[in-house]
Amino acid sequence: MGGTKNPSGAMRAKVLEFILILVASSVVAALARYLADRGLVPESYVLPIYVVTLLVGGYLAIRIINGIIERVVEPTIGATRARGIKNLFQVIAGLILVVLVFAIFGVNITAVLIGAGFLGIVLGLAAQQVLGNVFAGLAMLVSKPFEIGDRVTIATSSYGGTAPSYAHETQAGGFTGVVQDVGIFFTRVSLDNGVPAVFPNSVVIGAIIVNHSKGTLHTVRVRMDIDKKIDFDRFKSRLLESQKKLEVIDAEKSSVELVDMGASTYQVVVTVWTRSEVEESVRTLVIREGMKVQEELSGT
């Protein structure tokens, strides 16, 4: 079929591009050296030409290798780990390019770092948080608490996440949404309200992660106020019966409990088991069924 991609062909094309860039960079460097030896180009131009050639060739090579990882490695190990490998490769390749640039100009980078003294200490302290995010990202790459595309709740004391509660029960608060990217420094999540959120990796690695996409069945609890004129046992049996037609709910595991009593109403907690990742839609279905049952029983 014409619309299908050939991973082997794509890899060969990327490798060919990489080889061509290496050859072109070598030719440009050799040409600069040749022209300088013949006196056609000032000697002072040679090293800057080397550096520009190295940086341009290195940048293009990094782009090509990233493309190889996306097309060849990602289908095997998944988008999350492939993204982590790309990020790690970019950091290492960037450091290698910096070292090579210093080497071209004949600068001993070790001596520069040692000679920096106090400045190096200051920069090291300033970079502590940055390095913490980098290592946290690598730790998540290994431990895999979630994948790109998973719907998760990130609960952490670092931010003012809400913790809504009812009498007699508490619901853990946090930030819920779909993971969009796990980068070198940050994890990007599209929250359920549509707002994009960016979390430092060091915060995510220390947070409680609830992965809604990994579970098969999980509970959704709904509180409802019922008129005292409606018999609890009748309401319970009718509501449990009505849930059997809802495909997203395992009605056999559902329960209805009496938890509180008011002047004119009593309060029940309906607990249902569902495979749906989005609790709000399930909660809406349960509330609608409860309202229908109340209307039916109020009219009898």
Q: What is the pLDDT of residues 227-263, one digit of tens each?
A: 999 999 999 999 999 888 888 888 888 899 998 888 8
Instruction: Say yes or no to pLDDT of 37 above 70.
Output: yes
Cα(98)–Cα(142) distance, integer angstroms? 27
Structural domain includes residue 104: yes
Look-up of token digits 């019966």: 241
Cα(144)–Cα(81) distance, integer angstroms? 8
Indicate whether 171 and 226 sit together in one domain.
no
Q: Can you give the pLDDT at residue 190?
A: 93
CATH code of residue 182: 2.30.30.60
Q: Could you report the per-residue pLDDT of 189-239, keeping only the tens digit for each?
A: 999 888 999 999 888 888 888 887 776 777 888 999 999 999 999 999 999
Indicate whether 164 and 253 sit together in one domain.
no
Q: Can you give the pLDDT at residue 167?
A: 47
Structural domain includes residue 91: yes
Indicate whether 237 and 276 sit together in one domain.
yes
Indicate whether 179 and 230 sit together in one domain.
no
Task: Give the end of a domain, one of 211, 241, 265.
Answer: 211
Sheet with 265-274, strands from edge to edge, namely 218-227, 265-274, 255-261
For residues 285 and 268, is the Cβ–Cβ distance under 8 A?
no
Indicate whether 44 and 105 sit together in one domain.
yes
Indicate whether 11 and 121 sit together in one domain.
yes
For residues 149 and 79, is the Cβ–Cβ distance under 8 A?
yes
Q: Could you report the per-residue pLDDT of 74-104, keeping only the tens digit for each?
A: 777 777 777 777 877 887 888 888 888 888 7
Indicate whether 25 and 121 sit together in one domain.
yes
Cα(179)–Cα(177) distance, integer angstroms? 7
Indicate whether 187 and 283 sit together in one domain.
no
Indicate whether 231 and 290 sit together in one domain.
yes
Structural domain includes residue 272: yes
Structural domain includes residue 132: no
CATH code of residue 228: 3.30.70.100
Structural domain includes residue 131: no
Residue 122 vs residue 19, higher pLDDT: 19
pLDDT grade for 266, boundaries at 50, 70 and 90: very high
Structural domain includes residue 134: no
For residues 270 and 290, is the Cβ–Cβ distance under 8 A?
yes
Indicate whether 44 and 80 sit together in one domain.
yes
How many domains are there within the chain? 3
Structural domain includes residue 22: yes
Indicate whether 105 and 153 sit together in one domain.
no
pLDDT grade for 139, boundaries at 50, 70 and 90: confident
Task: Give the end of a domain, one of 183, 211, 239.
Answer: 211
Q: Which residues make Cβ contacts (< 8 Å) with residue 48, sequence separation at least 6?
A: none
Indicate whether 206 and 223 sit together in one domain.
no
Structural domain includes residue 29: yes
- Kindly state the average pLDDT of the residues 46-68: 81
Question: Residue 136, CB half-sphere, CA atoms under 13 Å: how many?
Answer: 20
For residues 189 and 226, is the Cβ–Cβ distance under 8 A?
no
Give the pTM. 0.56
Q: Which domain holds residue 70?
A: 7-126
Task: Give the end of a domain, one of 211, 232, 247.
Answer: 211
